[in-house]
A and B are shown apart, each in its own frame.
Chain A
Amino acid sequence: MARVIVITSGKGGVGKTTTSASFSSGLALRGFKTAVIDFDVGLRNLDLIMGCERRVVYDLVNVINGEANLSQALIKDKHCENLFILPASQTRDKDALSEEGVEKVLKELFHMGFEYVVCDSPAGIERGAVMALTFADEAIVVSNPEVSSVRDSDRILGILQSKSRRAVEGREPVKEHLLITRYSPKRVEEGEMLSYKDVQELLRVPLIGVIPESDDVLQASNQGTPAIHLKDSDVATAYQDVVARFLDEDRPLRFVSYEKPGILKRLFGGK
């Protein structure tokens, strides 16, 4: 049974697009036929993060308006065999997204045999963000261990629980997952940052993973390679764990505790 997963957060800049790119790549690497849709109409960026910005011809709004076929608009990912990207429109306004239009696109994707559709939500709680979560079966709420991000995550959870199709039709609610990104175990240890336990306690949503703060994320976006593909990177491993947990595999949390560097390491440096 095909599933729609929304990556959402309320606040901007917390790592929704980074997560959408890595999570959808992770599903495709596991052999699932996956599509990832950018819902940020007017400010598309998923194409840059996935490294396919020069191959964009048609977009989501073109498909909704019947100006292009879905198969013309889908871009095949350069890293994964089973992954396709549907970019957002760069020029039109947000009203171009209609509920019927989005529903039609999703149905067609399932008809084409896609097993997972990942919806990359824009920031905020406006139309684009609501459209991205309307048809979700599951939601990954991305939050930084920081006050404004946690508060906005709680707001978006409220919207999921009231405006999603599942909520409106009184079906089984959207399955919620919490993903904490930009986590610094050292600062948590020093009492400068909310711990993942604090955030989870505040939001009361099951934790699907913790992504450590890392320079690698910028390195990945510079090159247009989703972070999950990086070699020897904690971020890549952490995202692989997220995908595994999503597929109901048991993975203990990693990169959440801080070990003080030994005296030798402090004297001689090194990573």
Chain B
Amino acid sequence: MSLLSYFFGSKPKTASVAKERLSLIIAHERTSNRAPDFLPALQKELIEVISKYVNVGLDDIKVQLEKQDNCEILEVNITLPEQPPK
């Protein structure tokens, strides 16, 4: 077996497969599970405020919290409607 795998190249070791799968799933679950629960409420209130001045809908605003090492970044993305030419 070891002689054969020496000549034909061996399959990737299962431990490295495990590590790769874990690093993907953990990164994914960290962002989805650890988002604070106030985000939806924040998004709703922001829309209420902004729609007083500009005509925006629920889909025009994106609120995301990202974490990089010790630094948290709250990203608010508002797409304003295209201005009709005056």
Contact = CB atoms under 8 A, between A and B. Distances in A.
Contacts of A198: 15, 18-19
Contact of A158 (B14, B21, B22, B33): B33
Contact of A151 (B13, B14, B16, B22): B22
Interface string A9-38: 000000000000000000000000000000
Given A147-B21, A147-B22, A162-B34, A154 B15 contact: no
A182 interface: no
Contact of A192 (B15, B19, B21, B22): B15
A193 B15 contact: yes
Interface residues of B, number: 15
A194 B33 contact: no
Contacts of A52: none
A158 B35 CA distance: 10
Contact of B25 (A151, A194, A203): A151
A129 interface: no
Nearest to B16: A191
A146 B19 CA distance: 9
Interface in A58-94: none
Interface string A192-219: 1111001000110000000000000000
A130 B4 CA distance: 52
B18 to A, nearest CB: 5
Interface string B13-50: 11110110111011001100110000000000000000
Interface pairs A-B: 7 shortest CB-CB: A191-B13, A198-B19, A191-B15, A154-B26, A147-B18, A158-B34, A194-B15
Interface of A: 146-147, 150-151, 154-155, 158, 161-162, 188, 190-195, 198, 202-203
